[in-house]
Amino acid sequence: MTTIIQSDEILETVHMVADQHFDVRTITIGIDLHDCISSDINELNQNIYNKITRIGKDLVKTAKHLSAKYGVPIVNQRISVTPIAQIAAATHADSYVSIAETLDKAAKDIGVSFIGGFSALVQKGMSPSDEVLIRSIPEAMKKTDIVCSSVNIGSTRAGINMDAVKLAGEMIKETAAITPEGFGCAKIVVFCNAVEDNPFMAGAFHGSGEADAVINVGVSGPGVVKAALENSNAQTLTEVAEVVKKTAFKITRVGELIGHEAAKLLNIPFGILDLSLAPTPAVGDSVARILEGMGLSVCGTHGTTAALALLNDAVKKGGMMASGTVGGLSGAFIPVSEDEGMIAAAESGILTLDKLEAMTAVCSVGLDMVAVPGITSAATISGIIADEAAIGMINSKTTAVRIIPVPGKDVGDSVEFGGLLGYAPIMPVKEGSCEVFVNRGGRIPAPVQSMKN
């Protein structure tokens, strides 16, 4: 496909790279693994390794070439694959840890940053293979370095699978116990209404409706949006929304160019562009600071949810005008440990789990990279997951939980994850217990909003 975007369109964004932390956060190749299926798990592993390394072998080289050509950092190169619970069912194995290790080896051998798809989609029920995969997550996270895992436990059309919610909470608790500082939990996300074309980790997987291989690009620029607001004459919130929308348009055009170029060089179809304001721990690259730039004294105070709703909507509108292939999640991410403004607000006690939950209703994902006391029970974690899933189910949107119960840590402590994952203050959870509620199991029925046909 010949792109209609001209390279001179990115010239006005060059200063964004130097001064405002603008980057293409990821080029992700989604790979379908259905043709790898075998009843022999050893053969399956070999097939998976062969296909990933064959299709992904030039990804890193291509990203470096495009980064040098256009002067735009491409921070991560990633792979997402078909949910492994679907691919491994024919083996009838009692553990899929070896498959996780195969994914890890294949990803490392081609030099990518992460690989996602050690996943199960269980919103309406769990097959035996789904349950094996979920129970394999703790050991898989312990034995691998760059494999990411996700479980979709609910949807607007299906309701919430509370048996899966309970099991997910238990597996997160177990993963925390057997990985240093609970770090394995940073690679696990539990979804409601998961999307099939998300290029961002830890939740990326290659959906069943996708092509054999596809290029998905994730673009991020919270620093650019913050600088645009600071340099504008915007007074009213209407004017603020216009500034954000126009800035999102410019950012998206860069990602569109990179995506088409990567697709051409790799001879893989271009799928979607995900314009998500994904922060980093770097000062100036924070979604929280954008909200504060709108007039909040600190992220988490009253008015924060409204400000985030404005930001998220304006980002989506700007992206839609700039590209006909906007997909993934596209909006604002609020991962606490990865956003220096969120970290500061959480440390002050103003940004709480309750406020993050409210913000979930109007942003892209949900409770993301939240660290809680190590003594937090599996039932409480499941309750937190269920609350987030309920917001997603009722509002027909994606919500997610990436939570780390850090062993030996309590409120007032912090935990260092390093790199893009940053560090996080330990946030308090509610007193009381939801154990009886969680243990009832069954399914929370789909809401009336599901009856759309």
Residues 361/306, Cβ–Cβ less than 8 Å: no
Distance CA 422, CA 417 (A): 5
Summarised one tens digit per residue, pLDDT across range 60-80 is 999 999 988 887 888 889 999
Residues 153/168, Cβ–Cβ less than 8 Å: yes
What's the average model confidence in pLDDT over 45-61? 97
Summarised one tens digit per residue, pLDDT across range 178-236 is 999 899 999 999 999 999 988 888 889 999 888 999 999 888 778 788 888 888 888 99
**DSSP conformation letters of 142-201:** HH-SSEEEEEEEEETTTEEEHHHHHHHHHHHHHHHHHSGGGGGGGGEEEEES--TT--SS
Kindly give, in sequence order, each residue whose CB lies less than 8 Å from that of residue 452, ignoring residues fewer than 6 positions away: none
The secondary structure of 211-252, three-state, reads: CCEEEEEEEECHHHHHHHHHCCCCCCHHHHHHHHHHHHHHHH
Kindly give, in sequence order, each residue whose CB lies less than 8 Å from that of residue 311, ignoring residues fewer than 6 positions away: 225, 244, 277, 287, 290, 291, 294, 332
Summarised one tens digit per residue, pLDDT across range 384-423 is 999 999 999 999 999 999 999 999 999 989 888 877 777 8
Distance CA 393, CA 388 (A): 9
Confidence label for 12 from pLDDT (cuts 50, 70 and 90): low
Tell me the whole-structure pTM to 2 decimals: 0.90
Owner of token pair 């043709």: 35
Residue 246 tokens, joined? 């126009």
Residue 282 tokens, joined? 């770097």
Sign of the four-CA dihedral 294, 299, 301, 302: positive
Note if the bond before 202 is cis, omega within 30 degrees. yes
Nearest to 385 by CA among 172, 203, 111: 172
Share the mean pLDDT of the chain: 89
Distance CA 411, CA 444 (A): 32
* N- to C-terminal Cα separation, the chain: 35
Supply angle C-alpha 414, 419, 424, rounded to 5. Answer: 20
Distance CA 360, CA 41 (A): 39
Which residues face 373 on adjacent strands?
406
Residues 309/360, Cβ–Cβ less than 8 Å: no
